[in-house]
Amino acid sequence: MPGQQREVEFRFLAEPTDVNFGGKVHGGMVMKWIDQAGYAAAVGWSGKYCVTVAVGGIQFVAPIRIGDLVKVRCKLIHTGTSSMHFAVDVSAQDLRTGSGRTATSCVISFVALDTPDGKPTPVPAWAPLDEEDRRLAEYAQRLIGLSKAMESEVARFRPNAASAER
């Protein structure tokens, strides 16, 4: 039922096919896992088909190794009219020693679409329930503002149609 599932957690083992030449999991693979868990969370909240629109503040802080238990946790922290923003934490645990660490964190944003037309469609509203929720909602608002400022800055340097034809 839409608006009921606020959080999703994926758990799995990092496999040999996930690593780069240095023996650590590829950043691109971690981003794929973030996108998959985020998609599940967005559809779970909205009940609609969703697309990724942005990933902000991504930080790779510790490596993930083959055989680590990986947890990708997505928690809804802000809704707009058709958008949803999720805080994502990726952790890794060495199963032999039991030691765990945060590997990556970010905020990922999705927009719900009306599938026949592919146009944005409204999502259930979410409101903070406690102090931690308020802190995360404020964080999301700051990142949204930074993202808009960065879009504006990048747009200044995009070639316009007239100069692209030369």
For the segment 6-25, what is each residue's pLDDT rounded down to a tens digit? 999 999 999 999 999 888 99
Q: How many CB atoms lie within 10 A of CB 163?
A: 8
Domain boundaries, the chain: 7-157
- Tens of pLDDT, residues 46-91: 999 999 999 988 999 999 999 999 999 999 999 999 999 999 999 9
What is the CATH number that goes with domain 7-157?
3.10.129.10
Nearest to 29 by CA among 86, 100, 92: 92
Residues 6+ positions from 33 with CB-CB distance below 8 Å: 10, 70, 72, 90
